Each structure stands twice: as structure tokens, then as C-alpha cells.
Structure 1
Amino acid sequence: MVSPELSQFHVSQTMAKQQPGRNRPAFVGGVLVALFTVWAFWSFMSSNPSFSTKFSSGSELDCATAAQGVNLRHDPPATTFYDDPRLSYSIEKPIRDWDEKRREWLRHHPSFAAADGGAGDRILLVTGSQSTPCRNPIGDHLLLRFFKNKVDYCRIHGYDIFYNNVLLHPKMHTYWAKIPAVRAAMVAHPEAEWIWWVDSDAAFTDMDFKLPLHRYKNHNLVVHGWTKMIYEEKSWVSINAGVFLIRNCQWSLDFMEVWASMGPQTPNYDKWGQIQRSTLPDKLFPESDDQSGLVYLLLKEKEKWGDKIYVEGEYYFEGYWLEIVGTIENITERYFWDGEGGAAAEAAARGGGERGVCSGEGAVPERRRVWSVELAAAVYYALYRVSALQWEAQPDVLRRELLGWDAEGPQFRG
């Protein structure tokens, strides 16, 4: 039998023997932490660290210089029109002497005036859509694909692009929303000679297409259409206002001011709808719209505006999707030679309006399904063109391989 004193002594001895083994990991860990702290501090303070990282010099990479060679960091002290407190981007406040203000601004920003052959060929593509989600289950998917298609096209050709999804005028909605957006883009981008409006539902099907700007050197507005349908048939579909090219100049600002005067923000909106419908026999709906307004100005104010408007009919500046999509598998064969010896082709296919793409309205379910597939096929075909793949297939193969048909309909691939 062991006395309590001996028992306590035995336990104390055992604990004393076990204590060094239990504390050894903590001691080693503390030493390692201390060594690591000293090494990190020494590496930070040392003028010659043991590791080396190669950083690009300013001459190798200058983030302030855009791909077009312009100096984005240059901010001259001279005052420009931007310093005028009366300046407004709103369509309701006119701007005067815009040509001189642009020239003055370019004089103070010589890199913009000199890059890529000068400001005379610089194009800003403007597009946009509604800010709310689409009711059509694949509407947002299509709009995203359409936007990526435009970005790819602009990247290939060195164009800037601006996407707008807000109403710059609360009353100018739907198809009228483009005019405030284009007007604001002109003021915000004096370096751009041309503003190219492309509707959200339009996709470039020929990624090699380049605008023949030399043909428009004496004009300020380019729109696709047919002069016979304008002046003889007086048709509201004689032109298409979904894709147009407009010069950044005072003439264009004045023209858009008159054009916008037919819009829903004016007290004469209902009256203009009646005037348009009485002037254009085939106009079906009573509301004033931008396309009918453009045809009306060509008919009634041709002497004032007509000489500067180029109605492009020698190639498809844009085309309705039914006219184009059915032949995308052999689009490379659709080039033709125009009178000036240059190649011309279809520029873009349109889906029949953002309201149709986003809401799915205007077609029975079966037709809407085919319509969505065909539109997506156009976008995916352009994507394959960007990837420099030669796609030689029959239409059914093209749709199946690009979109993935099944019994329930198309399954869109990301």
C-alpha cells in the first residue's frame, strides 16, 4: 500500500517527465514563426531581394495610350466647350456652332486628330436595350449574344462601342430612345466623326464587312432603303431606321432636333401620328414612330435635308432576318461588285425589333421557336467566322451543330 504522500510524489514525477514532450511541438512552432517573421522583414527591407519579378516599363505598356494610338492622359489647360456650364447632353437643349467646337477640341487633343489616319474615319458604334429583364425566356440570352457579336465586330475593325440601357429622356421610349442616345454620344465623343447606331436585335453576319466611307464623303446620314419606295410608293418601310450612320456635325444635331420633334415628349405627338398615317398609306398603327418620321422628312423636306442623306441600296446595310438567315451557310458567296470596284455584302441581320426579341410578341409559339433558332444561328455563325473556322454545312447541319436540336426545340450552348 502506498501512502498518499508517495502517491502524490509519483504523479508529480510522471507529470514532470511528460511535460518536455508535450511542449516540444509548441516550442518548435514558435521558433519557426520567429524565423519566418525575421526572414520576411529582412526580405522586405533588403534592397536586393532574393526573388525577382519582371515589370513592364512605361515604354512597353502604357495604359493611358489606347490601341488606336491616342493619349488618354493628355488634359490640356485650355478651355473647351466642356467648360461651358450651359452645355447639355439633353435632346431638348440645342447646341450651336458644334463644328467649330469640335475643331477646337481636336486642336487641343492632337493625338485624337492624328491617330489612325485622323478623326475623319473614326467610328463610334452605339447600341442599347431596355434596362428591365425580357419576358421572352431566351430574350436576355439573345440580347447578350447580339451585344457580344457587336463587340467582336468592333474589336476586329478598331471601332469604339457604347452600350446604353437607360432612358436618356423619360418620355422617349421604345424606338424613340435611340435619338437621345445618339445625340449624347456625339457630345461625349467629339473625336468620333461618325456615330453608327445599330439596334440591339441586329447581328453582324459578315464580320469582314467594312463601311465604304469614301462613298459618303458628301453626306451626313446613311440609311438603308429604296428610293422608289420612298418617293413613288410613299411606304413607311421604304427605309429602315434600325441601323444608320450619322456624321458628328451641326447638320446632324439640327436634323435630330427636327426628327425628335415628332416624338412622344412633344405635345404634338398624336397629331404627328395622324400626319404620318395620312402621308404614308401602308402605315398600320396610329402612333408616330421614328422610321415614319424619317420617311416623312425625306418626302416633305427633301430640299432642306435630302442632299445630305444617302439612301444606301447597293448592298444590304442591314436586312430583315428572314431575308438573310436562310443563306448564312454560304454567305461568303453573297459578295458582289459595286460600280466603284469595291466588294459589298450584307452588313447585319435584324430580328424584327427589340420588342419581339425581348418579349417574344408578334408570332405564334411554333413560329417564335423557329424565329429564335434562326436568329441565334446567325449570331453563332458570326462567332464561328470570328474564330476563323470555315463552316461548310447544309442549313439543317448548321442549326443542329451550332444550336443542338432535340425533341423539345433548341438547346442553346454557351
Structure 2
Amino acid sequence: MSATKYRKSWWVDFRFNHQRYRKRSPENSKTGAQAYEALLRNRLAKGEDPFADDKKEVETFAEFSKVFISTYAESNNKPSEIRMKKITLKAHLIPFFGKYRLDEISSRLVEQYKFNKLGSGLARKTVNNHLAMLSKSLHIAQEWDVIDKLPAVKLLRVDPPGFDFLSPEDSELLVDSIADSQWKEMIFAALKTGLRLGELSALDWANIDFRNRVLTVKKSYVRDTMVSPKSNKYRYIPLTNELYEMLNKTKQKKGLVFPDANGNPLRPERCRRQLHRFCKQAGLRRVGWHMLRHTFASHLACKGIPIKTIQELLGHADLKVTLRYAHLGSSTLQQAIQVLDKPVELNYFGQPVPNQEQISTKITMPVDNRELAYLPNIKQKQDDSPV
């Protein structure tokens, strides 16, 4: 019998007349899978359709997407993620895949979707976001036994994203140009901690440990809702001396660190407008709050801080995202390449040596009352007396 267990489910997997048959067992147990295989083999021996009784009406993608959102997304995703899923489904995926049954969505159909979306002018990264959601919904359909197999969903190749950041001089100029103390502190904190705008807006005085000089990121303010940080994990940011002194002067027992006049989180639109105004005052190009985060990471990389450390400070789940800053810490790379500028000398054993002086050690051995001196030039030292 060829009953096998795969991802907590029992399957039958066998060959009959050189054709492979693979199917999930209706009864999720080894005994059930073995009995199901025997039934299929019996049907095949009689020339019958082995899966005649198993065929069922599969939902269309449009029908399943409603269940996907109401059941899976509502239970596992943040409000902002649910909102984006609904927008993507309504504007893109359902108009294309909606009429097809889930088991009719093939790899060829997915490739056609990619071709159409690229032709409409969408960015490759945007199309990949669509494909990721399509793939997730199909995987959930398989887990729920709606479909048996999945089409191959291959993501598009995307160039690494570019980014900009402020120089240390421009960063200082920006902060010095701000008269309002709260805005000055908020922008300075962004430059010295790398917090996202939503994380700064949600920062509470209770999240700052002044004794140990550590800030804990626990919440983020996104679309009028307090949610967990993007990585769904707390992270701990040590305070610089300057930031510690600045916050220590205005610290409170409780409440938001950077609230509006009513004690509520600052609206993202207002934060963006203020930052643009401060840039104009300082004579700098217009930058966004996320560029302040890039500036934090870029300055660390330029100082030679390991990429793994920068990843932890930024809260990136994937190191690949942090690697965009790797080229900025070029001093180590330059030192490695400069080694090639130095001439490489070989000793008489064929090994590289830094210089000739380091191999001037004389090795002697007696041979007929004479000494053979093994020097780098392989010269034999002999007695002046005649033999």
C-alpha cells in the first residue's frame, strides 16, 4: 500500500498501468487512506472512473474570496492589511479570476494576468503584491480541502528599491531650523531611532525606560487604529545621549509622547505637511518621514555598524530588506580590495609571504662536515677550503 502523510493529511499515491494517481484521503488516517487506495484500484481494474464519486462543485474565485476575507483575513490580518486585500480583490483579482472555478486557475492563466497588468502600466512590485495575495488565497483553499492542487505562481523579478537620505549636516540643519519644541523632538527622535511615523505617533511615555535609556516599540498608529508594529514584535532601541536629555526635560508619567492638542495621536497628513514646511524653512529638498528612517539606517551603515544589528534596530523581518544599506559601509570592502594592490611574494616553498625579511631564517643540517644553508635564493654555502 502507498498511503503517505503530507502536512498532517493522509494521501494515496500509486501507479496503475503506468499512470500515477495521487489524491487526498477522505478519511484522514492511515487505515482510511489504505482503504481508499484499495477502492480506487478496484475501480480502475473494472475500467471505471476512480474519482466518479469524489467530483464536487468547486466555488468560483469571486465566491471564495468573500469567505477568504470574512473567515481567514478577519482572523489573521491587521485592519490595514484587510483593507488592502479588499481593494486588491475588488479592483484587480476578481475582475480577472472571479468567473473561474478555483480548480480552473492554471499557471497559464496566472501568466496571462501578469502580462495584462504589466501592459496596463502597473509596477512589477505591485503585480507581485497581487500574485502574493492570489497565492495565499489558493493555499488556504487547498488547506480547507476546496482544491487538491495548486498552480505555480512565479513572482516577477524586481530591481532593488532605491532610497535617499539626509547627510549628517542636512539632518542637523533640519532640526536646528525647527522652533516648536515638540516637532523638534519628534523629528530628532525619528533621526536617532529609525521609528516609523506610525510608531512615533503611538509612542507612550510608559514605553521609555529612562533608567536604562531604552525605548520599546510596542504599538503603531495606522489609519486611526492602534495596532502592533509591522513585524508583530516588540523591539528595543537604546537612546542616544542627546535624545535622552531632550526627552528627559519634557517627560510625563503617562500619555503619548507626541500628541496633538487634545492628547490624541497626530494625524499622518498633518505630520507630512509640517515636515515639508520645515524642509522649506531649512532650505532643503522635500523629504518624507520614511526618509528620516532611511537616514538613521544609512548613518549607522556609514559608521560600519553590522547589517544584522541595523536589521534588529529597524525591525525588519527579512535581512534582504536591510541589505539595501550594505553598500554604504564600504570601508571594509575597500580594505579588502586594497590588499590586491600590494605585490605578492612567494618563498621557495611556493607560499605567499609579506616580505623577504620574514623568511631569512637559516635552516642547517650537517652533511659530511659541511653545512647546507637553505636560503630564499636556494644557494648552497660551501667551505672555502679545497675538497
Same fold (TM over 0.5): no
The alignment's TM-score, normalised by the length of structure 2, stands at 0.21
